[in-house]
């Protein structure tokens, strides 16, 4: 941190309030269109929207379009998207295999009130990927998946108590922070401390039907559990007859076989959602065959699972393309490796600067917490926005598979922004106001026809400055979290190796064909997440 920054770092409540006020004034000045749209929205939408998590002071950004890992707001400002739609945007905003699969599905009509072949195809892919899932059913969201899993557990065990953990979030009607959530469904909940083995004694003193847990709490702050905690939880469930429900709506992105594969714990039921649908509405729950058989009415099952969009052809097509064509082991491994380099570097920068912020997470799920005053986190959000990075209210968020291309420019002094040091407005950082259907990202002429991939990238904090230039001014080079050590690049085709397909027509468009890997194949390997 420079001497200038050190002189400006807020040291008391008044100076912190002034820093927040300066950030809000700069924010308003740079985004008049977003502000006008927000005022219009608030007339008909309580709070101006329908997702509380997207609220931001003084008003939220109105995004106009997105491509790859970038978005452009209504004022023409461009950002690298680190929010990732709360992990649902793992693949970016317009992944090509999913787009082609959706277009093919739409050619056959949609809103079809009948079963179709894509359901079984996707179920085969899900069961092949997650060892504990012997049968699966689909929903429209992860929230629905968790609700159905709880209902199934109560029916199968004949009990009523549901065990959960402080900080757990399993949907808007299953949220368990330190305050009472009046929107929670009326199950009989027993809540225990997260990642506390000793606290399991009190939890299992009740006659539980199941215990629902995330291996890494998502909305609760990206807190990973210790592997021994999850193993102890599995043992206590076995001893008491309670079912273990593992919420992998977010965490299945941490390993090809999900967090359950990485941690070595086998749940009775697993819930899925978010990124597996490539940004479409998607959810799923599955597990042991004897449990899922309660939905098999022809086989004597008594449960009814309705849902107009459970087997929506668009969601099914997008999820099939994701599992077949995109999320191979290498993609997720590379993402986690990049995130594991970035997370400690970010933590080191913040702590070295003496800022009351710290980083938590594992793999591509990470966030920054304020140690004392939550306004420090708000200040960080605004600093990142000014640096050209879009995050949620708990930055950074969930990193995408394909990070932005590297740029050979010095990084924007993010800490200067946090300190409230003077800097120019963002008027120069503009994107084209008349977007094409698939807006192209500007690249230097030397990049045409190839993709630049860094060799031994070094992660830095912040966006980038033009050489000798002004923060936020657009050039032909792009902002990035990555910087070359050697300045070298390697070439590879934009679409990678031939991509398998579910149909001959889509195969011809994508360039290949391949069957799903069977259960128990050599695709998986042992891995352990080290929180």
Measured CA to CA, the distance from residue 150 to residue 408 in angstroms comes to 51
Measured CA to CA, the distance from residue 463 to residue 477 in angstroms comes to 11
Per-residue pLDDT of the chain (531 residues; tens, 9 = 90+): 444 444 455 667 888 888 899 999 999 999 999 999 999 999 999 999 988 888 899 999 999 999 888 899 999 999 988 888 888 888 888 888 898 999 999 999 988 888 999 999 999 999 999 999 999 999 999 999 999 999 999 999 999 999 999 999 999 889 887 667 888 888 999 999 999 999 999 999 889 999 999 999 988 888 999 999 999 999 999 999 999 999 999 999 888 899 999 999 999 999 999 988 888 899 999 999 999 999 999 999 999 999 999 999 999 999 999 998 888 778 888 888 888 888 888 888 787 777 888 888 888 888 888 888 888 888 889 988 988 888 877 776 777 776 554 333 323 345 545 544 433 333 344 444 434 333 333 333 333 333 333 333 333 333 332 233 333 333 333 333 322 223 333 333 332 333 333 444 544 444 443 444 444 444 333 333 333
Placement of tokens 């933590």 in the chain: 347
Query: What DSSP designation does 182 have?
Result: T
Cα-to-chain-centroid distance, residue 181 = 23
Placement of tokens 């979030």 in the chain: 169
* DSSP, residue by residue, 395-455: SEEE--SSPPPP--SPBP-HHHHHTT-----STT----SS--SSPPPP--GGGTTS--EES
Placement of tokens 């999900």 in the chain: 258
Q: What angle do CA 496, 498, 499 make, to 5 degrees?
A: 95
Q: Which helix (H) or strand (E) holds 367?
A: strand 365-370
């Amino acid at each position: 941190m420079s001497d200038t920054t050190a002189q400006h770092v807020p040291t008391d409540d008044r100076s912190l309030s002034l820093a927040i006020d300066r950030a809000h004034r700069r924010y308003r000045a740079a985004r008049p269109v977003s502000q006008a749209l927000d005022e219009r929205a608030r007339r008909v939408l309580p709070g101006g929207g329908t997702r509380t998590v997207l609220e931001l002071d003084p008003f939220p950004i109105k995004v106009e379009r997105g491509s790859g890992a970038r978005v452009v707001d209504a004022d023409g400002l461009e950002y690298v998207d680190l929010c990732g739609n709360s992990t649902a945007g793992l693949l970016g905003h317009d992944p090509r295999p999913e787009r082609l699969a959706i277009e093919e599905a739409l050619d056959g009509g949609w809103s079809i009130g009948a079963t179709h072949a894509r359901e079984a195809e996707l179920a085969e892919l899900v069961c092949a990927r997650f060892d504990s899932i012997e049968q699966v059913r689909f929903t429209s969201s992860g929230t629905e998946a968790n609700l159905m899993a709880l209902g199934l557990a109560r029916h199968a065990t004949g009990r009523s108590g549901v065990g959960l953990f402080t900080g757990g979030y399993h949907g808007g009607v299953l949220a368990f922070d330190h305050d009472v959530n009046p929107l929670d469904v009326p199950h009989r909940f027993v809540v225990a401390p997260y990642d506390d083995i000793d606290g399991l004694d009190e939890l299992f003193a009740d006659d539980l039907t199941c215990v629902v847990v995330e291996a890494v709490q998502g909305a609760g702050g990206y807190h990973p559990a210790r592997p021994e905690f999850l193993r102890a939880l599995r043992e206590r469930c076995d001893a008491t007859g309670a079912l273990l429900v593992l919420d992998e709506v977010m965490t299945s992105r941490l390993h090809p076989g999900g967090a359950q594969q990485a941690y070595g714990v086998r749940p009775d039921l697993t819930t899925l959602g978010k990124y597996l649908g490539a940004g479409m509405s998607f959810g799923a729950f599955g597990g042991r065959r004897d449990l899922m058989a309660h939905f098999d009415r022809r086989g004597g099952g008594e449960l009814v699972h309705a849902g107009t969009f459970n087997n929506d052809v668009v969601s099914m097509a997008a999820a099939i393309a994701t599992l077949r064509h995109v999320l191979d082991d290498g993609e997720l491994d590379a993402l986690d490796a990049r995130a594991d380099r970035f997370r400690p570097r970010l933590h080191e920068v913040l702590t070295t600067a003496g800022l009351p912020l710290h980083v938590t997470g594992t793999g591509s799920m990470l966030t920054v917490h304020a140690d004392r005053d939550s306004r420090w986190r708000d200040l960080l959000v605004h600093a990142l926005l000014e640096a050209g990075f879009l995050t949620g209210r708990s930055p950074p968020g969930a990193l995408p598979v394909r990070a932005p291309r590297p740029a050979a420019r010095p990084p924007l002094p993010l800490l200067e922004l946090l300190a409230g040091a003077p800097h120019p407005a963002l008027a120069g950082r503009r994107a084209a106001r008349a977007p094409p259907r698939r807006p192209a990202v500007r690249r230097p002429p030397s990049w045409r026809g190839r993709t630049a991939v860094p060799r031994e990238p070094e992660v830095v904090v912040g966006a980038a400055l033009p050489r000798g230039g002004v923060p936020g001014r657009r050039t032909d080079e792009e902002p990035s979290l990555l910087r070359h050590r050697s300045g070298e690049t390697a070439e590879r085709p934009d679409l990678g190796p031939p991509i398998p397909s579910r149909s001959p027509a889509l195969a011809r468009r994508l360039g290949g064909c391949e069957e799903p890997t069977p259960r128990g194949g050599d695709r998986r390997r042992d891995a352990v997440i080290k929180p």
